Structure 1
Amino acid sequence: MDRVIEKKGWSKKKTLTLSGITALAILVGGSIYFTSGKSKVNVESERITVSEVKKGLFQEFIPVNGVVLPQTTIYLDAVEGGRVEEKLVEDGAMVKKNQPILRLSNTDLELSLVNQQTAVYNLLTQMQIAKNAAQQNTTQKLNQKTDVENAYKEAKRVYDLNKYLYEQKAIGLQEFKQAENTFNYQVARLKLTDDILMQDASSNAQQVSQAAQSAKGSQNALNVMRKKVGDLIVRAPVDGQLTSLDAEIGQSKNKGERLGQIDIISGYKVRVDVDEHYISRVFIGLSGETTVANQDYKLKITKVYTQVNNGRFQVDMLFDGKVPDGIRRGQTLQIRLALSDETQALLLNKGGFFQQTGGNWVYKLSADGSTAYKVDVQLGRQNPDYYEVLSGLQPGDKVVTSSYENYGNMQELVIKK
Structure 2
Amino acid sequence: MIGRTEEPAAVSGSGMDRVVAPRGLALRWKIAAGVAAIAALAGLFLAYAPRGGSQTVEASRLTVSTVSRGTFDDYIPLRARVTPLLTVYIDAVEGGRVEEMLVEDGATVEKGQPIAVLSNAELQLSTLARQTEVEQQINNMRSQELALSQTQLANERSVLEAELALEKARRQYERERPLAERGFVPAKTFADTRDEYEYQKRRLAVLKRGQATDARLQGGQLAQLQQAAQSMRSGLDIARTNLEALRLRAPVSGTLSGFAIQIGQSLQRGERIGQIDSPGRNKLIAGVDEFYLGRVQLGQKAAIEYGGKRYEAKISKISPQVQNGQFEVDLIFTGAEPADIQRGQTLQAKLTLGDPAPARLIPNGAFYSETGGAWVFVVSPDGRSAVKRKVRLGRRNADYVEVLEGLDPGERVITSPYTGFADKDRLDLRSQ
| Amino acid in structure 1 at the alignment position of 2:111 | K
Change (3 A) 1:209 1:62: closer
Distance 1:223 1:66 in 2: 46
RMSD, matched Cα: 5.2
Change (3 A) 1:119 1:6: farther
Q: Does 1:57 pair with 2:71?
A: yes
Distance 2:171 2:251 in 1: 80
Counterpart residue number, 1:363: 379
Deviates more, 1:220-229 or 1:348-357: 348-357
Offset, 1:401: 5.5
Distance 1:305 1:17 in 2: 80
Deviates more, 1:222-231 or 1:345-354: 345-354
Counterpart residue number, 2:269: 254
Distance 1:196 1:40 in 2: 111
| Amino acid in structure 1 at the alignment position of 2:269 | N
Match of 2:409 among 388, 391, 394: 394
Distance 1:127 1:403 in 2: 86
Q: Secondary structure at the match of 1:27?
A: helix
Conserved 8 A contact 1:81-1:254: yes
Distance 1:153 1:26 in 2: 149
Q: Secondary structure at the match of 1:301?
A: strand
Offset, 1:406: 9.1
Counterpart residue number, 1:2: 15
Offset, 1:315: 0.6
Counterpart residue number, 1:227: 241
Distance 1:162 1:124 in 2: 57
Counterpart residue number, 1:380: 393
Conserved 8 A contact 1:373-1:412: yes
Offset, 1:56: 2.9
Change (3 A) 1:291 1:365: farther
Offset, 1:118: 1.4
Conserved 8 A contact 2:65-2:414: yes
> How many residues are matched?
399
Alignment of 1:89-238 (within 5 A): 89-130=103-144, 198=211, 202=215, 208-238=222-252
Between Structure 1 and Structure 2, whose CA radius of gyration is higher? 2
Q: Secondary structure at the match of 1:262?
A: strand
Could you tell me the TM-score, scaled by structure 1's length? 0.69
| Amino acid in structure 2 at the alignment position of 1:232 | L
Unaligned runs of at least 5 residues, structure 2:
1-13, 25-29
Distance 2:187 2:55 in 1: 157
Cα deviation digits, residues 171-224 of structure 1 (max 9, x gap): 9999x6998799689959985996699489747666555443332232222122
Change (3 A) 1:212 1:253: same
Offset, 1:68: 1.2
Alignment of 1:67-78 (within 5 A): 67-78=81-92
Change (3 A) 1:30 1:217: closer
Distance 1:311 1:403 in 2: 20
Alignment of 1:287-326 (within 5 A): 287-326=301-340
Cα deviation digits, residues 221-270 of structure 1 (max 9, x gap): 21222223333333323322223336444232333x44433222353221
Distance 1:405 1:214 in 2: 79
Change (3 A) 1:115 1:309: farther
